[in-house]
């Protein structure tokens, strides 16, 4: 058998088989390492996708909540603006802004405005006392009850 092992063909065959075995073991180890890395990457990917899904779900819930709040605020605003007093308050605010701008831009406006304001206050005070107030209170139910009193322009009194 020693002669057989000494034969160059057998020697070459053994050397080739040894090299093939080394390459096979090395390939098998690399495959195991790659499979382990693949599992780790799959776990990492799964974890990352889970985190992203939770973040997206939280964002969607927050968006839905904000949409609901926006709708509630829009409805509340429409309701508040639909109240009768709000239209008058808004008009009063617009008039106030216009008066302030006129006072700033028109130098002669402020004294004239103050005089007209005092005159209007006196007319209202007169309308609230005496015969005019009694007639107004007596006939208000005929006019609809909540209608504001008619104040005559300065010249009709």
Residue 99: CB partners within 8 Å, gap ≥ 6? 113
Residue 152 lies in a domain: no
Q: What is the pLDDT of residue 11?
A: 86
In order, the DSSP letters of the chain are -HHHHHSHHHHHHHHHHHHHHHHHHHHHHHHHHHHHHHHHHHHHHHHHHHHHHHHHHHHHHHHHHHHHHHHHHHHHHHHHHHSHHHHHHHHHHHHHHHHHHHHHH-TTHHHHHHHHHHHHHHHHHHHHSHHHHHHHHHHHHHHTSSSPPPPPPTTT-
Q: Which residue has the higher pLDDT, 100 or 27?
A: 27
CA distance linking residue 123 with residue 150, whole number of Å: 11
Max avg pLDDT among 49-63, 112-126, 140-154: 49-63
Residue 148 lies in a domain: no
Q: Is residue 74 located within the same domain as residue 116?
A: no
Nearest to 149 by CA among 131, 129, 128, 130: 128
Residue 93 lies in a domain: yes
Q: What is the pLDDT of residue 157?
A: 43
pLDDT digits (tens, 9 = 90+) for 69-110: 999 999 988 887 777 677 777 778 888 888 777 777 777 777
Q: What is the pLDDT of residue 153?
A: 53
- Structural domain harbouring 46: 9-82
- Residue where a domain terminates, one of 82, 97, 131: 82
Q: What is the pLDDT of residue 110?
A: 74
Q: What is the pLDDT of residue 132?
A: 60
Q: Is residue 74 located within the same domain as residue 90?
A: no
- Residue where a domain terminates, one of 82, 100, 126: 82
Structure tokens at 98: 């216009």
Q: Is residue 65 located within the same domain as residue 104?
A: no
Q: What is the pLDDT of residue 102?
A: 79
Q: Is residue 138 located within the same domain as residue 77?
A: no
CA distance linking residue 81 with residue 74, whole number of Å: 10
Q: Is residue 14 located within the same domain as residue 61?
A: yes
> What pTM was computed for the model?
0.38
Residue 98 lies in a domain: yes
Q: Which residue has the higher pLDDT, 131 or 109?
A: 109
Q: Is residue 33 located within the same domain as residue 49?
A: yes
Domain count, the chain: 2
């Amino acid at each position: 058998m020693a002669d057989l092992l000494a034969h160059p063909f057998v020697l070459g065959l053994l050397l080739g088989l040894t090299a093939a075995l080394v390459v096979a073991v090395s390939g098998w180890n690399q495959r195991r390492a790659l499979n382990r890395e693949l599992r780790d990457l799959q776990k990492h990917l799964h974890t990352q996708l889970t985190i992203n899904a939770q973040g997206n779900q939280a964002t969607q819930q927050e968006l839905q909540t904000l949409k609901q709040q926006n709708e509630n605020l829009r409805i509340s605003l429409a309701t508040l603006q639909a109240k009768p007093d709000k239209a008058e308050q808004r008009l009063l605010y617009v008039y106030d802004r216009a008066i302030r701008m006129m006072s700033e831009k028109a130098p002669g406006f402020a004294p004239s405005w103050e005089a007209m304001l005092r005159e209007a206050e006196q007319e209202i005070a007169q309308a609230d006392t005496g015969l005019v107030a009694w007639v107004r209170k007596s006939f208000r139910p005929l006019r609809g009850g909540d209608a504001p009193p008619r104040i005559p322009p300065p010249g009709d009194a």
